[in-house]
Chain A
Amino acid sequence: MALLTDLSYLTPELMLAVGAMALLILGVFLGDKSARLISTASIALLIATLLVVAAMSGWPEREIFAGSFRIDAFSTFVKLMILAAAALAILMSDKYLAGEQLGRFEYPVLIVLAAVGMLLMASANDLIALYMGVETQSLALYILAAFNRDSRRSTEAGLKYFVLGALSSCLLLYGASLVYGFTGATQFDAIASVSAEASKNVGFIIGLVFLISGLAFKVSAAPFHMWTPDVYEGAPTPVTAFFAAAPKLAAMALFARAMVTPFGGVADQWTPILAILAVASMAVGAFSAIVQTNIKRLMAYSSIGHMGFALIGLSAGTPEGVWSTLVYMAIYIVMMVGAFACILLMRRRGGMTETIDELAGLSKTNPGLSLILTVLLFSLAGVPPMAGFFGKLYVFQAAIDAGMIWLALAGAVLSVVSAYYYLRIIRIMWMSDPAPVFEREQGSRLGLTASISALLVLPVLPMFMGPLRIAAERAAAALF
């Protein structure tokens, strides 16, 4: 009976895994012609799963499989966003992949499989479960990065991602084994009960540091960010759009749980490390992006910077810090999805254009798109009254409440530096002579995605920031 109850809590993951397998078989039988059908079915599967997760949100929280996974408000909050972001990623890819002769049925299935891994990450409550989730997700992501297998850039990105990802898995495993060695447990609550005692031993601390390094690699926080620009640039653009959103959120959620639950008692050991990671990421993101000419590379640095801001909340080590990180990530995903939808619309003479200069004078040639992108970029820069501002507001607030005013100040100053390169794009769009017009027939899906995220960023999210905050607060409370 207990097994059945445990399994029922795992319905979303099972649905996705079984569904992905079924779609894979279907694809093999129907061949590449079925790419369109499979991707529609995958979106339907992800949305169905999303509804199941939403329906399960009322269930009492529970640890399943001997405490390996924990289904609670936190995991529900994160899973909802992951599933939505994954569905949007498939939705946004269709046209591009067909245009680049990449319309293969494996693509949506791989995204669904990555989503399975991410859902596991969201509720992992054990070092082994953590590793399992991370690897399930990463394997799918490596293939996706190299999905354009005839392109040297894409295969290079995939290989780079794989090699460096393997390295980070090593760090993660090494850290996990050290922690296990000094606490005798892999289950988070069990570690928590002995962590205060074990922290007297330096080996435990080393294990913790390795664990943090491995996780920092997954969220691409500096100084573990080196892979990000290359992978973002090399991977096909819709894949980059996917990388920038859902996996970042899953990794950040895992980071939060893996710090707060097992090591909550020894927070003073890891909060300074996270604070340093945060400042380093914000600085790298802000300064390196200034000189970029490729928009995907620029977005890579931008996302590194944003991870830095999100880590500010986590490094406060308080419930407030965790929910501020969640709010930040929710807003971040909306902005990233919207920005990449705009980038995917940058298409000219049958090929994608990726340099920022191609946006010149966009406000004249395509006022609608430029307005949307302007709103999103101001939001990414954190200028009020856009939603991006509120994300920064809450993480700074968490840092100040935790007594780390210096961290909030550093974040504030670095956000001005990062505003410079967002302004550069806006400047090029509004204040330069027009470049040739982009192709129009990109399908309304991308345009719609972009406009909806812009609408969310400007009037909707700022107006309903209160409810979003309350939901995130409830989610964060589940960890403490």
Chain B
Amino acid sequence: MNEIAAQGLSDQPWLSLLTFLPLVGALAIALRQITAKREANGAVGANEQASIDSVSRRIAMLFTLGAFILSVFITVAYYDPAEAGYQLVESAPWLGQGVGYKMGVDGISILFVLLTTFIMPICIAASGAIEKRVPEYMAAFLIMETLILGVFCALDLLVFYLFFEGSLIPMFLIIGVWGSKGTKMLGGVTMPSRVYAAVKFFLFTLLGSILMLVAILWMWSFAGTTDIPTLQQTAFPAEAQKWLWIAFFASFAVKMPMWPVHTWLPDAHVQAPTAGSVILAAILLKMGGYGFLRFSLPMFPIASVDFAPFVYALSIVAIIYTSLVALAQEDMKKLIAYSSVAHMGFVTMGIFTATTQGVEGALFQMLSHGFISGALFLCVGVLYDRIHTREIAAYGGLVHRMPFYAFLFLFFTMGNVGLPGVSGFVGEFLTMAGAFKVNSWIAFFAAFGVILSAAYALRLFRQVMYGDLVKPNLMAIADVDAREATMLSALLIFALVLGVYPKPALDIFAPAVDAMLRNFDAAVSVAGGR
């Protein structure tokens, strides 16, 4: 009797429930807004607006926390980490002709789902400084969460594409509406630079992914379906794989972002509000790496082998060049943005080694970068909320006034450098170990990135924290408050635990990664490569 009930419970569409839960929150906020307008006959006073704002903050917090709890519950109760295949699969007819609505997770995606639901409440909590159009802001974040969760759960290529592209819309609005002040001259026209950054972000990523759309359509007509598990077993002709790989690469490389299509990222990061930067760095960038692992490697193995040297080259350029660029930055957010590009270089390098260490290292690096870079952007946000500038030169000697903040900042700086004991180390080490197996020169060059990251991260820390506290506006600066301390400590715990004991995460990755690489090697050896 109980067994039947349990069986029925595990058959529920848990993933859809999780994915669309935040959307319900967004609708609730919209509804609240409309009813308040109606009650006030269209003219909402300042007091009423303040109460609507605080209600929408609470609704957003409630739903993001709800999603987090639900995702943890699903993972603990129904996810079997020992199994390699897709789990919690649910499907429903949709377009017909081989296109259906299908969701499911495996070892590669489940931790990204958890990362997303974990980061989201932090983003909401970090949005205390947002004062204009709060309900719209909260709704945009909730919609964003739905779309991101959809990306990681989708098991149909077209459904994936829908979520993947859809996530551009809320992010575009978040950067463009709630971004920072300041203007930029462009072609003789002065426009707010946040608007410039938002449009650049949108068009760059749209151009990348529209090429992927054409490739998806070709695959649909070739295989007659867009079911991801089926396509992963489909052997595409070697010649076609090349073009498909390039089309998918165009999309994911922009998203990742890889050198030389990374130029939208510093702009977007600098202009986005703190929570927008966090979500961008911690989650949105991971969609690129996830795409490589979910599609490029399993579906186009032959092309992946052929193009691997090309990816290594771009990755190494990204690691060394963007680290050097980071060294020269005057703006804290820009510095961290460039360091993100460098860290993503390790990820792409690791993925295309197609070795267990490389791929697991890349996954781990993405996870850890989610905590560390998210935390670093939060740290910058803490300062920005107080002094309203992100310029490194405007600070100095903060350690005297903000000891706890300095501790947190140092910890995450060390994580960014890749110090052993913090999660950043594990990912970098594993990806380099994977690269070493393929070609020791790649690992040799990549190792420069570790040195350079220490150079720019420590420079940032020294200039902001150490020295004498001379600037008059810094004299009265307050240390982190309880809210900020909680957010940062939560991230710190994860970064520390995973750094000291990475095994649980690696164990979750392992079955899916092993299965994928087995298929990969089989496909490549059939084609006579390797």
Contacts and interface: CB of A to CB of B under 8 A. Distances in A.
A393 B202 contact: no
Nearest to B216: A393
B93 interface: yes
B206 A431 contact: no
Nearest to B132: A364
Interface residues of A, number: 32
B526 interface: no
A385 B168 CA distance: 11
B214 A465 contact: no
B93 A412 contact: no
Interface stretch (B158-166, B227-235, B361-369): B158-166
B221 A419 contact: no
Contacts of A400: 214, 217-218, 221
Interface in B134-165: 136, 158, 161-163, 165
B198 interface: yes
B220 to A, nearest CB: 7
Contacts of A401: 221
Interface in A448-474: 462-463, 465-466, 469-470
B471 to A, nearest CB: 33
Contact of B203 (A363, A408, A420, A470): A420
Nearest to A402: B221
B195 A412 contact: no
A466 B192 contact: no
A415 B210 contact: yes
Given A396-B214, A415-B210, A385 B166 contact: yes
Interface in A355-414: 363-364, 367, 378, 383-385, 389, 393, 396-397, 400-401, 405, 408-409, 412-413
Given A397-B221, A419-B206, A427-B195, A384 B162 contact: yes
Interface residues of B, number: 37
Contact of A413 (B96, B202, B207, B221): B207
A397 B218 CA distance: 7
Interface string B353-371: 0000000000000000000
B395 to A, nearest CB: 30
Contacts of A430: 173, 176-177
A416 B166 contact: no
A25 interface: no
A177 B213 CA distance: 43
- Residue with the greatest number of chain A CB neighbours at <10 A, chosen from B162, B199, B210: B210
A423 interface: yes
A408 B169 contact: no
A360 B136 CA distance: 17
Contacts of A405: 214, 218
B194 interface: yes
B94 interface: yes
Interface in B219-269: 220-221
Contacts of A462: 162
A378 B206 CA distance: 12
A378 B169 contact: yes
Contacts of A393: 158, 213, 217
B211 interface: yes
B214 A423 contact: no
Contacts of A364: 133
Given A378-B169, A416-B206, A431-B194, A397 B217 contact: yes
A113 B195 CA distance: 47
B95 interface: yes
B425 to A, nearest CB: 39
Consensus secondary structure, chain A interface: helix
B137 to A, nearest CB: 12
Given A393-B217, A427-B195, A419 B202 contact: yes
Contacts of A413: 207, 210
Interface in A110-138: none
A156 B361 CA distance: 69
A430 B195 CA distance: 10
A408 B219 CA distance: 14
A387 B268 CA distance: 28
A31 B169 CA distance: 51
Contacts of B195: 427, 431
A470 B220 CA distance: 18
A465 B97 CA distance: 12
- Residue with the greatest number of chain B CB neighbours at <10 A, chosen from A396, A419, A431, A470: A431
B94 A465 contact: yes
A413 B172 CA distance: 20
Given A416-B206, A416-B210, A431-B177, A384 B95 contact: no
Contacts of B220: 397
B214 A383 contact: no
A412 B217 CA distance: 12
Interface string A193-221: 00000000000000000000000000000
B161 A466 contact: no
A469 B96 contact: yes
Contacts of A383: 165-166, 168-169, 206
Contacts of A397: 217, 220-221
Nearest to A464: B94
Nearest to A463: B94
A396 B217 contact: yes
A400 B221 CA distance: 8
Given A400-B214, A423-B202, A385 B192 contact: no
A281 B262 CA distance: 32
Contacts of B97: 469
A378 B173 CA distance: 12
A384 B221 contact: no
Contacts of B221: 397, 400-401
Given A367-B136, A423-B199, A427-B195, A466 B214 contact: no
A408 B217 contact: yes
Nearest to A409: B214
Interface in B26-85: 33
Contact of A465 (B95, B136, B173): B95
A462 B198 CA distance: 26
B140 to A, nearest CB: 11
Contacts of B198: 427, 431
Interface string B96-118: 11000000000000000000000
B308 to A, nearest CB: 25
Given A465-B94, A466-B95, A470-B96, A416 B207 contact: yes
B217 A416 contact: no
A252 B214 CA distance: 24
Contact of B176 (A419, A427, A466): A427
A305 to B, nearest CB: 15
A426 to B, nearest CB: 8
A378 B171 CA distance: 14
Interface in B439-478: none
A409 B243 CA distance: 12
A363 B213 CA distance: 31
A466 B177 contact: no
A431 B93 CA distance: 39
Contacts of A367: 33, 136
Nearest to B199: A423
Lowest 4 A-B CB distances belong to which pairs? A384-B162, A412-B210, A384-B165, A385-B162
25 contacts: A363-B133, A363-B136, A383-B166, A383-B168, A384-B166, A389-B162, A389-B165, A396-B214, A396-B217, A397-B221, A400-B217, A400-B218, A400-B221, A405-B214, A408-B214, A412-B213, A419-B202, A420-B203, A427-B195, A430-B177, A431-B192, A462-B162, A466-B93, A469-B96, A470-B96
Given A427-B176, A431-B198, A463-B94, 14 more contacts: A363-B136, A363-B177, A367-B33, A396-B214, A396-B217, A408-B217, A415-B210, A416-B206, A423-B202, A427-B199, A431-B194, A431-B195, A465-B95, A466-B96
Interface of A: 363-364, 367, 378, 383-385, 389, 393, 396-397, 400-401, 405, 408-409, 412-413, 415-416, 419-420, 423, 427, 430-431, 462-463, 465-466, 469-470
